[in-house]
Amino acid sequence: MVQVRWEGFGGDMVALQAEMERLLEQAAARAALLMDSAGRLLTLSGDSPEFDVTTFVSLMAADFCATRELARMLGEEAFHSVFHQGDEMSLYMTHVTEGTILAVVYDSDSTLGLVRYCVRKALPRLSEIIREGLSAPKVGYQRVGDAFGSEVMSKVNEMFGEPSA
């Protein structure tokens, strides 16, 4: 498991990771990557690639977004999934929630049909975990008081020997 700091996510990363692991096992896939539409890796389950994951995730997100624009040109609101088939490795990407994309990397031990079926089964739970996590209160954060800014400026002025206003 690779977990990146997911800004704004106050949810259960353990439940999210467990759901992705379940998906990998049922789909006989190699890896599952959850990313945002800006191309930032949120979490990865399965085999860690032997190449630059940051570049890979950025390219996948760009590919998914470009495909969305192609769909609009054809009069569709969006294509909900993208599939790339290789001789040995294949890639299936799909929209999970607004701003999140799931990518599943698989080899000849699996099939597109099996991957699509397992992803379709996992999507409701994945999207539920993500939505709950994005709307959950962030643990450890406190709202700063209204006087915080003036207190900071007063301390800065003191440090530099300037009189407080």
Q: Is residue 23 part of a domain?
A: yes
Q: Give the structural domain span for 57.
A: 2-138
Q: Is residue 8 part of a domain?
A: yes
Nearest 5°: CA angle at 69, between 64 and 75? 125
pLDDT at position 2, please? Answer: 47
Q: Is residue 149 part of a domain?
A: no
The CA distance from 139 to 9, in Å, is 10
Residue whose entry in the numeric block shows the structure tokens 């990557």: 33
Q: Are 21 and 48 in contact (CB under 8 A)?
A: no
Interval 29-57 mean pLDDT? 87
pLDDT at position 131, please? Answer: 85
Q: Is residue 26 part of a domain?
A: yes
Q: Is residue 114 part of a domain?
A: yes
Q: Is residue 163 part of a domain?
A: no
Q: Is residue 86 part of a domain?
A: yes
The CA distance from 64 to 80, in Å, is 9
Q: Is residue 150 part of a domain?
A: no
pTM over 0.85: no
CATH code where residue 126 lies: 3.30.450.30
Mean pLDDT taken over the chain: 83
Beta bridge partners of 97: 100
Whether the pLDDT of residue 151 is over 70: the answer is yes
Q: Which long-range contacts (CB under 8 A, 24 or more apart) does 82-89 make?
A: 83/112, 85/112, 89/30
Quote the number of domains for the chain: 1
